[in-house]
């Protein structure tokens, strides 16, 4: 194609025919259209204690800005071009960040745009957008035919003009003069235009050594349609048989008929223009390291070898942007199934099972095929869209007000996802978690992950909906089934090799307490082995926190925590609950936060994990365990502080059944400041970081949410108002309090230690004494809180000391002594109250376990009898807090005693028994623990004195 002025290029007062090398240079009004000011951007704020990290929005997210109307410059288009542009181009989203990338590249050198596949419509749109934003316009494009888009005057000039020079000559002259062009890397036309092929990249490499300004190659791509509708689908076997794909192309590389259909279909919806990271040609040539001798040996010049390398780099940059948004090139699920079954490990496992059981190999293979068929996902654009519509209709618009989303974290995922698949490891608080992340990501132009779901969710029709939306179903217990284990590993390998992201609920099941659970390492181990061995590409592990202002399943969880028998639940039953489907948006906001992505291969290598070293299983286990705990702790660190969690913690902290409003507001402020000092994220509008206060409106919202959950009730009015929470109400408050605890558990443990020392000794206290007592308190609750994974206690103690000093709760006396600051005893009590139930549960459990002095008992029976005894002690006033009487706390205390060697578990034929360990049969160790924990708790009856003092 000649460099005749293209549609969207402003007319310049110059002779007819191509521009000369001495014509207007880049940056002047003749080279760019009149600039249209792009929307302003705002930099991301710091996270710690700042409520602007999250953005409140619907599931669709913030409304993007579309391409501005071209205005007066539209007279340069023919009538067909003007109509087409106004109808179709104005709905395309051209991000401000993309505009900035091109402007930066233009400031650095001559811009050459690169597109993947030759399409006239994409070229026309980008030139339209460049003119609208005042960016360098492309004056040449290889293989583009645009005659029908020109006004009559230019059409005649193009047909009857004298200049008929070759495209490569025009391209060379324009680039030398600093003008911009468009290069298409390939064409899927049956007969490509004559000027499409040519040594364009070789010409750029040659010119790079001759021109003064660097040549900046800017890859571009255009996604017609957005989000859920643009997920890549597996190739259709029927269309391949009938040859339709060869005639009209596929969705990813359509021919003209299909491209026109895509444009018409998405005319009234927003599509997305993507600008990839530019390539500085000078830097690329310097870093390419092409060996001249080896190139000559292959019979090609150095420029040709560099051009091949450059073409691959540009294609990969475009593909990585498309892959992170619409997914990788997807094989048909039958092909994946065949490849998995043919893997050597799977074949070997089937042979071993056939030898061990005497069954025929063919029958084992048929069974394996059935297992794999039940496991596999069948994601499709239609399935993703179907699941999204169901969620929006049943949940997002009915039960919830909206989402609070870490938009900065989304932007970071878009960058990290270019390097390879992402492994999302979200916290698991609700059955709704399965639905949240995928729909949220697709609405923000990120491909949804394949979700690992339990086989119990594979029933029709829910299983079919989940499967087509990307879920794959696995058994919770594999046991010694080596064939199933090999199938699972092979299937995950195929997904990762294709480039699919995964979503794995690493805690295994839903948390019943609101606290993060210790990681289950099964699936993570499979992924780690594949990545470390090189069988899978580089992946990044992404900690994710999904939180709720109100939890839908809280009533059933409350019954379980108080000791009632667990009743099986399902997502289907949850969605069918009448209280959930009311159109009252009573459950507030869903909060989604992302931690810092972790390069899995680098993380494991730093911990001496070698997948090929069969003689180092301990190192492998430690590395994978470290990755799991690090991820869970990171998810806790980014969990959002909500009005519900702050108010619930303020209600529970005093330990009384009722709290005066004035004292509750004071406790809310104390806890919010403590969370802010530790770097917590807050719900939008909750915490004013500059003033260090929580608004009274936010407190009212939190109390309203807790009232809807029947977690508290109000007595009195005016200044005498008292908020009351009794027994089961306190269990509900505990759930929300536990969402705050990951941020303040360090200061809370230090506070309970300082209060204990202050009651027993005169201040000040030596730092060594405080740290020794804090070390015991930290060890006591280590199985209840997954936080600060991999950090030494000395570093944590120093950090907590710094936080308490910043809060002005303590004072240093000399270099090695510490005291509670004057007037801060109540604030110390508020923090200490957050961990009192954990300590009291240990104390009560140790006291009740004296029953084992008479001999071993079944663990299930021991847990139930201890829980019953705790309830009796609470009723007669020997326990202070009803929330100490929770089954998970009892189980945690027993596990801690087993780890400490005070109890021993004995495997019997039908169950597991508990007994006092050797050397502790007399129960003295339990008495010592009871005594130490009693010292950390306020005496029964202290509440009345505290209330009178207040």
Sequential DSSP letters for 84-134: HHHHHGGGEE--HHHHHHHHHHHHHSEEEEEEEE--HHHHHHHHHHHHHHT
pLDDT of residue 621: 87
DSSP assignment, residue 406?
Answer: E
| Cα gap 71→131, rounded to integer Å | 10
pLDDT for the residue numbered 399? 86
- Considering the domain 333-594, what is its CATH architecture? 3-Layer(aba) Sandwich (3.40)
The two beta strands, 540-548 and 502-503, are unpaired
pLDDT at 616: 64
Q: Do domains 333-594 and 837-949 have the same CATH topology?
A: no
> Using CA atoms, how far apart are residues 199 and 205, in angstroms rounded to an integer?
10
3-state SS, one letter per residue, for 543-610: EEEEEECCCCCHHHHHHHHCCCCCCCCCHHHHHHCCCCCCCCCCCCEEEEEECCCEEHHHHHHHCCCC
- Quick check: pTM over 0.85? yes
H or E segment to which residue 408 belongs: helix 407-416
Q: What does the pLDDT read at residue 295?
A: 52
Fold of 837-949: Arc Repressor Mutant, subunit A (1.10.10)
Q: What percent of the chain has pLDDT over 90?
A: 50
Which residue stretches of 709-806 are H helix?
728-760, 767-780, 793-806
Tens of pLDDT along 522-556?
899 999 999 988 888 999 999 999 999 999 888 88
Give the per-residue pLDDT at 281.
93
The C-alpha atoms of residue 330 and residue 337 are separated, in whole angstroms, by: 13
d(CA 224, CA 540): 28
pLDDT at 240 (0 to 100): 53
Q: Is the four-CA dihedral 552, 555, 556, 561 of positive or negative sign?
A: positive
pLDDT given at position 27: 31
State the number of CA atoms in the 13 A half-sphere of 926 facing the CB: 21
Q: In the chain, helix, strand, coil percent, each to 5?
A: 50, 15, 35
For residue 764, whether the previous peptide bond is cis, meaning omega lies within 30 degrees of 0, is: yes
Give the pLDDT confidence score for residue 809 in this predicted structure. 94
Q: Can you give the pLDDT at residue 194? A: 67
Domain residue ranges in the chain: 89-141+175-326, 333-594, 641-832, 837-949
Share above pLDDT 70 across residues of the chain, in percent, rounded to a whole number: 81
> What does pLDDT average to over the chain?
83
pLDDT digits (tens, 9 = 90+) for 769-827: 999 999 999 999 999 888 777 788 889 999 999 999 999 999 988 778 899 999 999 99
Give the distance from CA 289 to its chain's centroid: 37
Q: What is the DSSP string of 478-546?
A: -TT-HHHHHHHHHHHHHHHHHT--EE--TTSS--SSSSPPPPP-HHHHHHHHHHHHTSS---EEEEEEE
Which regions of the chain are under pLDDT 50?
A: 1-52, 75, 944-945, 947-950
């Amino acid at each position: 194609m000649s460099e005749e002025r293209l549609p969207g290029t402003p007319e310049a007062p110059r002779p007819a025919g191509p521009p000369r090398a001495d014509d207007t240079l880049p940056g002047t009004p003749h080279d760019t259209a009149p600039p249209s000011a792009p929307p302003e951007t705002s930099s991301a704020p710091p996270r710690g204690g700042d409520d602007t990290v999250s953005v409140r929005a619907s599931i669709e997210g913030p409304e993007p800005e579309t391409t501005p109307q071209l205005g007066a410059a539209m007279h340069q288009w023919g009538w067909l071009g003007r109509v087409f542009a106004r109808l179709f181009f104005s709905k395309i989203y051209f991000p401000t960040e993309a505009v900035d990338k091109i402007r930066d590249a233009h400031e650095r050198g001559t811009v050459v745009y690169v597109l993947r596949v030759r399409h006239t419509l994409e070229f026309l749109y980008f030139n339209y957008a460049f003119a609208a934003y005042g960016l360098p316009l492309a004056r040449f494009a290889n293989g583009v035919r645009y005659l029908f888009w020109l006004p009559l005057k230019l059409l005649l000039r193009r047909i009857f003009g004298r200049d008929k020079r070759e495209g490569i000559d025009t391209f060379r002259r324009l680039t030398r003069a600093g003008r911009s062009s468009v290069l298409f890397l390939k064409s899927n036309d049956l007969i490509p235009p004559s000027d499409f092929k040519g040594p364009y990249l070789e010409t750029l490499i040659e010119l790079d050594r001759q021109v003064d300004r660097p040549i900046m190659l800017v890859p571009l791509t255009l996604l017609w349609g957005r989000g859920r509708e643009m997920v890549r689908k597996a190739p259709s076997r029927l269309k391949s048989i009938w040859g339709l794909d060869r005639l009209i192309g596929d969705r990813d590389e359509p021919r003209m008929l299909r491209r026109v259909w895509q444009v018409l279909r998405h005319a009234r919806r927003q599509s997305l223009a993507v600008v990839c990271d530019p390539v500085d040609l000078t830097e690329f040539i310097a870093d390419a390291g092409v060996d001249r001798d080896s190139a000559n040996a292959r019979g090609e010049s150095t420029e040709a070898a560099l051009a091949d390398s450059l073409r691959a780099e540009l294609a990969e940059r475009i593909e990585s942007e498309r892959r992170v948004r619409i997914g990788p090139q997807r094989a048909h699920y039958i092909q994946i199934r065949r490849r998995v079954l043919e893997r050597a490990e799977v074949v070997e496992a089937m042979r071993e099972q056939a030898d061990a059981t005497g069954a025929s190999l063919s029958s084992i293979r048929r069974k394996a095929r059935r297992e794999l068929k039940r496991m596999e996902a069948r994601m499709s654009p239609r399935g993703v869209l179907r699941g999204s519509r169901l969620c929006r209709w049943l949940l997002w618009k009915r039960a919830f007000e909206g989402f609070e989303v870490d938009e900065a974290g989304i932007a970071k995922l878009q960058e990290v996802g270019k390097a390879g698949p992402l492994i999302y490891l979200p916290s698991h608080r609700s059955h709704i978690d399965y639905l949240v992340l995928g729909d949220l990501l697709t609405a923000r132009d990120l491909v949804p992950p394949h979700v690992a779901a339990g086989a119990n969710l594979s029933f029709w029709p829910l299983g079919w909906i989940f499967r087509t939306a990307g879920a794959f179903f696995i058994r919770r217990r594999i046991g010694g089934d080596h064939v199933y284990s090999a199938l699972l590993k092979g299937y995950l390998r195929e997904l990762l090799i294709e480039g699919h992201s995964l979503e794995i609920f690493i805690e295994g099941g839903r948390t019943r307490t609101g606290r993060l659970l210790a990681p289950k390492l099964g699936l993570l181990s499979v992924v780690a082995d594949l990545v470390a061995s090189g069988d899978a590409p580089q992946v990044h592990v992404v900690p994710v926190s999904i939180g709720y202002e109100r939890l839908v399943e809280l009533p059933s969880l409350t019954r379980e925590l108080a000791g009632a028998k667990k009743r099986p639940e399902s997502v289907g039953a949850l969605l069918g609950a009448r209280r959930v489907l009311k159109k009252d948006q009573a459950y507030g906001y869903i909060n989604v936060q992302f931690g810092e992505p972790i390069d899995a291969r680098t993380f494991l290598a730093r911990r001496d994990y070698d997948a090929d070293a069969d003689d180092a299983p301990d190192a492998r286990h430690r590395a994978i365990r470290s990755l799991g705990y690090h991820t869970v702790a990171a998810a806790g660190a980014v969990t959002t502080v909500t009005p519900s969690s702050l108010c619930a913690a303020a209600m529970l902290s005093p330990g009384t059944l009722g709290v005066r409003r004035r004292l509750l507001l004071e406790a809310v402020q104390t806890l919010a400041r403590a969370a802010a000092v530790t770097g917590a994220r807050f719900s939008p509008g909750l915490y004013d970081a500059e003033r260090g206060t929580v608004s009274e409106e936010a407190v009212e919202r939190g109390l309203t949410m807790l009232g809807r959950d029947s977690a508290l009730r109000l007595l009195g009015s005016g200044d005498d108002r008292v908020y009351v929470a009794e027994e089961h109400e306190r269990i509900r408050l505990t759930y929300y309090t536990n969402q705050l605890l990951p941020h303040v558990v360090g200061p809370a443990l230090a506070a309970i230690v300082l209060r204990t020392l202050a009651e027993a000794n005169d201040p000040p206290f030596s730092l060594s004494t405080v740290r020794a007592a804090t070390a015991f308190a930290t060890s006591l609750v280590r199985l209840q809180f997954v936080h600060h994974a991999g950090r030494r206690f000395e570093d944590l103690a120093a950090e907590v000391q710094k936080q308490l000093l910043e809060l002005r709760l303590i004072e240093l006396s000399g270099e090695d002594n510490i005291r509670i600051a004057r007037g801060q005893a109540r604030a110390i009590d508020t923090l200490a109250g957050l961990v009192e139930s954990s300590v009291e549960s240990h104390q009560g459990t140790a006291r009740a376990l004296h029953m084992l002095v008479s001999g071993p008992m079944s663990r299930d029976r021991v847990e139930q009898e201890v829980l019953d005894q705790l309830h009796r002690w609470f009723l007669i006033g020997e326990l202070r807090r009803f929330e100490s009487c929770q089954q998970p706390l009892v189980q945690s205390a027993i596990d801690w005693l087993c780890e400490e060697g005070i109890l021993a578990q004995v495997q019997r034929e039908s169950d597991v028994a508990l007994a006092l360990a050797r050397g502790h049969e007399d129960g003295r160790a339990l008495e010592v623990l009871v005594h130490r924990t009693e010292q950390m708790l306020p005496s029964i009856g202290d509440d009345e004195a505290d209330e009178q003092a207040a």
